[in-house]
Structure 1
Amino acid sequence: MPEFELPTALEAHEPPEARGLARDEVRLLAGSSAGVSHHRFTELPELLRAGDVLVVNTSGTLAASVPVVGVPMRLHFSTLLPDGRWAVEVRGRDLRPRPGRAGVLPLPGRATATLEEPYTRGRLWSATVRAALPVPEYLQRYGQPIRYPYVRRRWPLSAYQTVFANRPGSAEMPSAARPFSERVVTRLVAAGVQFAPLVLHTGVASPEAHERPYPEWFSVPATTARVVNDARAAGGRIIAVGTTAVRALESAAGPEGRVAEREGYTDLVVTRSRGVRVVDGLLTGFHEPRASHLDLLAAVAEPDTLRDCYAEAVRCGYLWHEFGDVNLLLP
């Protein structure tokens, strides 16, 4: 994995629209064994070729942060669990994780969340939520998008949605797809690049914890499996948009790399030692030092390519986090 320090000056504090850019005008750093090159995201169609497939996550972002009544804390709704409970995270005044103790948290609208048992070590809890509305509707009425300290002010939920979002369920935005716009999608299709949708509802990924991924719900439809399999047979490249798309697609792939229709909870952790069976390239944001996402990137790109990309991104002032710039890793 690349070793680097992230200067605070490279944290994106607001959406690109607040910096005077369209969402598709963020910077794009392309890396492959041939080296690195600098672009705007609007140049993506020139970097791909006819027959390539972009695999996109159509999960929509929830307003997953709710205040706890009477105390300076917030509850982050992470993942709906198979037994109907929710994995949740409690955060304190400074918005850092609070391990807390089991108990009942009062929420707006006379709702409650009962913390029952740890879901991950020290951070997430399994909780029973009681509310007058189903949780997604409850969050729409009482919640706000999850916001970490580097984002200095509130932004509406629309700022956290991608153009592909059509199935709400993610605690945090599948942000690699945020730069896509209708005009870029149109140009890609005109250039012969195909799109293959899937869903993975991503949970909260604490910047402080850098913990391993935990199970998340995904769905790979039959049409996407067919598009990917046909493209691979014809020599096309499969390029995942975001680490969530990698995890979902690889969860639906057999040992020989053939993708099948599949849905459910995946606990797959993609690492360099495990490798990838389907994905050839990846469009992704820039990840923090020592983040577990870097293990997944190392399964797609060569170590030298990753090191070169991150060194160049720091040197040239690329921006990190969900409102930042993007990195295209090609074979």
Structure 2
Amino acid sequence: MMPKTWSLLPLLLLLLGPPARAQELNCTVEVSIGPSVVITDQSIVASMQSKIQEFLNTRTWTSTTYQEKERIKCRMFIVLTGGASPSYQATMRLLSTRPIYGTGYETNVISIVDKSFNFNYPPPNSLDFSPNSFVSNLSSLLGFYANIIIGLDRDTFSRLGGTQYFENARLIMTYSASQISSEGQDPSWSNGGGLRSRYQLLTNLTDPQLEAFRTGSYAYYRQGMDLFIEKPDEARTAVLGALTGINAAASLRVSEPIFRYFFDAKADEIANIFRTSSDQNQKQQLVTMLVNIDATNAQKYQAILTSR
């Protein structure tokens, strides 16, 4: 005869439900008001910040089960630069990070700036999202960048691992570009939106000519940074090889936004990685290469040569 405790097991499992499934993003959102903007009802800003953060962190963006510790950490800074309820003009900076294997260190992956992050709040159809159709410009913006961040993160763990998520972002971009609603048409979704548009960012990430940027990202992290704690010299060699690949892509079109976003996030770290190298030839090779493609941070790279 089956023990009574066994007969209760199916009922207990049913009551407990399926195991918890953590969402992919762990994003902190900060909304602030620019100096030329007057918003009398401050609760709108607090609501905006809370709802955007909740939207990014509680929605499931992939079919993969993430452990809590595997969630992608990112920070989104939105500055309201114009408009009044319900239509706002804003700029947005998005910074994502990734843990380094065997350490407590978190490395910046990308630092993206969107200067036409414009939306209605509250959105006309509530803050909801469909992967296949337009709901509001705000939900499209958030869905687009969620997929970009996940795709870039996947690229650091497997070669071209983020492709699916860039295609998801392309679908959002396509239906958003064709939308003319009460919010108006957002040129950053299309080819006419300028060099730093969302269109141009996604084009960079999916352009076969610039694929070395993505494969270089994998080499930088998995073959370089994740080995650094155990084999620092081998890790530096791998990072240099990764940057050489990125340099090859940047040499084709150095003004593309993806390279600016990458070096804005990585320049300090790259300088720190090679500052303690004992290989002066390696340092010189790195600095000569990076000064040509990232002149903005040339001073940081030049300092590598005088460090011991």
TM-score (norm 1): 0.26
| Bigger share in helix | 2
Normalized per residue, the structure richer in strand is 1
Bigger RCO (CA 8 Å, 6+ sep): 1
So what's the TM-score if we normalise by structure 2? 0.28
